[in-house]
Amino acid sequence: MFRRFVLSCSILASVPVLPAQTPAAPTPVTGDAPVAPKPTWETQRQARTYLLGIPAPRGQIVDRNGDPLAQTRVSYNLGISFPTPLEFTDPQAAAFAKEQAARAQTLLKRKVEFRTENAVKHYNNRGVLPFLIAQDLSPAEQELIRKENSQHLVLQPVYQRLYPNGALAGHILGYAGRAGRMQDGPIENNELLWPNAVGREGLEQSFDDQLQGQFGQYNLSFNAAGKKTSEKISIPPQPGYNVVTTLDVKIQRLCEESLAKGCKRGAMVIVDPSNGDVLAMASWPVFNPAAFVPSISEDAFRALQDDKDIPLLPRAFRSSYPPGSTFKVVVGLTALQSGKIKAADEFDCPAAMEIGNLTFKNWKKEGTGSLNFADALTQSCNTWFYTVGMKIGGRLISDYATRLGLGVRTGIPLDAETSGRIPTDEYMLKTHQRRLLNGDVANLSVGQGDTLISPLQMAQAMACVGNGGKLYQTRLVQQVQSIDGQIVTAYDVRVRNQVEISKEVQAELRKAMVQVVESRAGTAGRAQVPNVRVAGKTGTAQWGPKKKERTAAWFTGFAPAENPKYAFAAVYEGDANNDDVHGGTQAAPLIGKVLRELFKEEPKEKPKQRKKKAAGEAPAELPVRRAEPVKPPQ
């Protein structure tokens, strides 16, 4: 049973936004000490109560086990509290602000800078509220300010987004940045004490309405003389809902670590074949969402945009690549399940063959004779698949690919997911003014030509092949919970499509894909896992303009082969004009490293002993484990 934590609004209530006592008149800055005026019409106009909004703490985003991915913490800013009534001239207000800032700089032992004109503008428009001069003080700095016990240097607590795992899953989480700049105009009732945080990308954006809580209310009153008479939080803010994802933070971390050590650019996705849950969806390089909290500088943002490796791009679901030979699994399934060929049928595997007026080559320079399906997939013979592809036809291949979810958005709740592309007659007519010709079908049969698939789509397809034909609706979010654990919205497990795969065809596909990993003639030996049979397929495909052509190296499949627990896809992006990039040497090791860690931590079970989770099975309430918030020092 996981321990629960509720972000208490009493944290804000316990620390006043302004000092509780009415400040005494300050030491004169220039000239004689001001004489308290008698109430006049002008001063009576200052008798009023301001009703100000308190932004609510955003709900949390957690992994499937309740481990936090995005939280809200209490941050403390330092402000200058001007004395009331507000009787300074502009030069006096500027001098007072400089005096207090110098005092703060001495205490904190760091630079405290601001523009004088901003301080004067703040004093004239909203002098009853603190003028901020430093943000997000450390606990040690907070303690120094408290010990100083100044009426004019005050701590203002604010809610701020926290990403406890740093850059982990940054592309999925997105970020919650400040909505607009700090106010500097005249105070208006119901305005917020500080800018609210708004989701700008990823799940933060997609579930912004649910993550946003309910604003609280802060009352600030002044008498006719302009002196503050009371302040209180009349309505505490209510935290937002929590979003429970399907991610497993440990698996996500393993994937990102593997990509970080194994490539400059790439992606990796791991899906649960029994229900379609995304356990990990990693893109590399990644960015740290904390860089956008509360806002990012122009220079820092420009550096991210100008980075040639594009760290802001979520390659796992927003990029699509030619799948290369990984698509041969789809061709094999189509050929066997449609009855166009039998598992024992043999076709020649020459070094090259003529199709129309073009020569289509195998990746090997020499022919390897006649091969059946399993051996052709193991050796990844291109010419064998050219022959079989033309035998079964492009329309049938495209149909099976679409049934497996390729070339179609998965529907995860993230903006700008790529749809990829599976060439059809309709597409070819629209784009190239012709139907699929034999050369097009040959290209399609080895995952080249106009074919584009995202890593997420490929992992989803392998999950379907591995579980025997159930294409589950891919899930990234399990449910949304209220702060007390009640389910607000649940996203149930459901089958999106049923692809007919006979037991005989499934066994043949499994046999061939295991040979790819375990056979000496196979191409994915670096993905082997002790005591676990891994079913997989490598792929190597070129894409991009000829002068800057790049290679996408793939490895995809599922494990254990007999009773899959994980379906996966990994892509390694090669540098421009680098031909020494291959699925077996670059992508397979990325997956192999992750799988060896996953199965090392698990007890060795026989497939029959493992209890399968029924489709649609979900607990009534998922535990949300939360780290303690940053509490104000006592």
| Separation of alpha carbons 179 and 207, rounded Å | 16
The structure's pTM equals 0.86
| Residue 20, domain member (yes or no) | no
Contacts 24+ apart (CB under 8 A), 146-151: 146/633, 148/107, 150/100, 150/103, 151/19, 151/21, 151/23, 151/24, 151/81, 151/83
Do 360 and 336 lie in one domain? The reply is yes
Domain-ending residue, one of 241, 259, 278: 241
Instruction: Answer with the residue of higher pLDDT: 245 or 36.
Output: 245
Instruction: With respect to residue 421, please indicate whether it lies within any of the assigned structural domains.
Output: yes
Largest CA distance in the chain: 107
Q: Would 68 be classed as within a structural domain?
A: yes
**Same domain for 308 and 234?**
no
Same domain, 451 and 555: yes
Phi, psi of 43, rounded to the nearest 5 degrees: -70, -30
The reply to whether 13 falls in a domain is no
Number of domains in the chain: 2
Which of the four pLDDT bands, split at 50, 70 and 90, describes residue 564?
Answer: very high
Per-residue confidence (pLDDT) for residue 179, from 0 to 100:
82
The pLDDT tens digits for 388-419 are 999 999 999 999 999 999 999 999 999 999 99
CA distance linking residue 316 with residue 324, whole number of Å: 17
pLDDT of 620 > 70? The answer is no
Res 177: pLDDT: 86
> 231 and 279: one domain?
no
76 occurs within a structural domain: yes
Query: What's the pLDDT score for residue 10?
Result: 37
Based on the fold, state whether residues 261 and 149 are members of the same structural domain: no
Residue type, 572: Y
The CATH number of the domain where 400 resides is what? 3.40.710.10
Residues 236 and 364 in one domain: no
Does the residue 493 lie in any domain? yes
Instruction: Over range 225-238, report the average pLDDT.
Output: 89
Shared domain for 259 and 209, answered yes or no, is: no
Reported as a single tens digit per residue, the pLDDT across 267-303 is 999 999 999 999 999 999 999 999 999 888 899 999 9
Cα–Cα distance for residue pair 370/381, rounded to 1 Å: 11
| pLDDT on residue 271 | 98
User: Tens of pLDDT along 2-61?
Assistant: 333 333 333 343 333 322 222 232 222 323 333 333 443 344 455 688 899 999 999 999
- Whether residues 263 and 401 share a domain: the answer is yes
Shared-domain flag, residues 268 and 306 = yes
| Listed residues 222, 241, 260: the one ending a domain | 241
Q: For residues 222 and 284, state if they share a domain.
A: no
- Whole-number percent of the chain with pLDDT over 90: 76
- The answer to the question of residue 144 being in a domain is yes
Tell me what pLDDT residue 621 has.
39
User: Based on the domain organization, do 234 and 266 belong to the same domain?
Assistant: no
**Quick check: is 626 in a domain?**
no
Q: Please give the mean pLDDT across all residues of the chain.
A: 88
- The separation between the first and the last C-alpha atoms of the chain, rounded to the nearest angstrom, is 30
Instruction: State the pLDDT confidence band at 576, using cuts at 50, 70 and 90.
Output: confident
Residue 160 and residue 122 share a domain? yes
CATH of the domain at 235: 3.90.1310.10
Mean pLDDT of 487-504: 96
Range of the domain at 203: 49-182+190-241
More confident residue, 18 or 492: 492
Residue 318 zone, left/alpha/beta (φ > 0; ψ -120 to 50; rest)? alpha
